Amino acid sequence: MTQDPNKPVIVLRDGGLKVSIFAHRDEKGTRYSGTLVRSYRDEQGVWHDTNYLSNAEFLRAARLLDQAYDRLVMLKGNDAKTRPEVEAD
């Protein structure tokens, strides 16, 4: 089974805040990127995502990004362990 390339490998939430980490695999290995969004409902009850945060959300966002970084370090460590070793000539 292969990983859906559009599906995040990590999703962390804190209330309406969400950090998603995506893996990008190629012949050189795996690179990671991510997004931070805040979800909210409008007056009609429809959900939306935005990149704008209130000042009250900055610390929560920073802590969520810190957790995402820690998880990313673990993922990268696992990648290094599963990468085949290349013998030097």
Q: What would the pLDDT profile of 28-78 be if each residue is shown by its tens digit?
A: 888 999 999 999 999 999 999 999 999 999 999 999 999 999 999 998 887
Alpha carbons 70 and 11: distance in angstroms, whole number: 13
CA dihedral of 47, 40, 73, 84, whole degrees rounded to 10? 10
The amino acid at residue 8 is P
pLDDT surpasses 80 at 87: no
The residue count of the chain comes to 89
pLDDT surpasses 90 at 2: no
Report if pTM > 0.95: no
pLDDT surpasses 80 at 88: no
**CB-side neighbour CA atoms (13 Å) of 17:** 18
